[in-house]
Homo-oligomer: A and B are copies of this chain.
Amino acid sequence: MDALQEQTRDRLLEAAGEIFAEYGFQAATIRDICRRGKANVAAVNYYFGDKRALYIAAVERAHCNTAGLINVVWPEGWTPQQKLRVFIRQWLEQQLAEDLPSWHMRLMLREMADPTDACVKLVEAYIRPMAETLRGVIRELTPDDLAERQGWMIGFSIVSQCLFYKVHRPIAELLVGRDEYTHFNLPVIAEHITRFSLAALGQGAPVTATSSLEQMS
């Protein structure tokens, strides 16, 4: 009975995650969610109470399926530079993947741009682990006596560059032109952010040095 009856509840959660991720909490309608979840509108109240509780539940459920958002265990012998490059690349891959069935990243990005009550949970479950991973890499790349505050700011500088190409993508496209923007693909962006950030930390040549960008464009 459990396995079968819970079907509706699960379908509702899955549908809610997708719809909320796409439209945001306010713009998403219960009727849309129920249509996608093939459930009656009353099911939301029956299983969750109200819309907000459904949202929270959807966010919490997303936690479980989030194994390996960003790889936390690095292979032996990797240099911190390599780790940073992979971190940035994985972040961008998760972020720019549109077709992926994983709407988790989109939900997270939406919550990051317009936080709600679920924000605290999302930070602790999603974001802090990633932040700790990044801070570990940064510690390897910087002097031992680096102030913790500066470590945070360096992390923000790196992540903010990645986020830009998702959050403000429409503006970037308008600025550089639609055709030209097609060249701003994942490898190009990842390489630039990596080189820019490493140079800022005194690792590697300045980002303006003759690079291998031509090969990928």
A39 interfacial contact with B, CB 8 Å: no
Interface size band for A: 35 or more
Given A160-B164, A197-B200, is A171 in contact with B208 using a C-beta cutoff of 8 Å? no
CB contact list, A113-134 vs B, under 8 A: 113-115, 119-120, 123, 127-128, 131
Our pick among B113, B131, B202 for the contact of A205 (Cβ within 8 Å) is: B202
Determine the distance from Cα of A167 to Cα of B167 in the docked complex, in whole angstroms. Answer: 9
A215 interfacial contact with B, CB 8 Å: no
A176 interfacial contact with B, CB 8 Å: yes
Our pick among B131, B160, B217 for the contact of A160 (Cβ within 8 Å) is: B160
A152 interfacial contact with B, CB 8 Å: yes
Our pick among B119, B143, B168 for the contact of A112 (Cβ within 8 Å) is: B168
Determine the distance from Cα of A205 to Cα of B206 in the docked complex, in whole angstroms. Answer: 11
Q: Is the CB of B170 within 8 A of A152?
A: no
Give 28 pairs: A residue, B residue, CB < 8 Å, sorted on A: A115-B171, A119-B170, A119-B171, A119-B174, A123-B174, A127-B171, A127-B175, A128-B175, A143-B208, A146-B208, A149-B183, A149-B184, A149-B188, A149-B217, A150-B208, A150-B211, A150-B213, A152-B172, A153-B196, A154-B196, A156-B164, A157-B164, A157-B196, A159-B164, A161-B161, A163-B167, A167-B167, A203-B206
Not counting A159-B164, A160-B160, A163-B168, a sample of 19 additional A-B residue pairs whose C-beta atoms are within 8 angstroms of each other reads: A113-B114, A119-B171, A123-B171, A123-B175, A128-B175, A150-B192, A150-B208, A150-B211, A150-B213, A153-B192, A154-B207, A160-B164, A163-B167, A167-B167, A196-B200, A199-B202, A202-B206, A202-B207, A202-B209
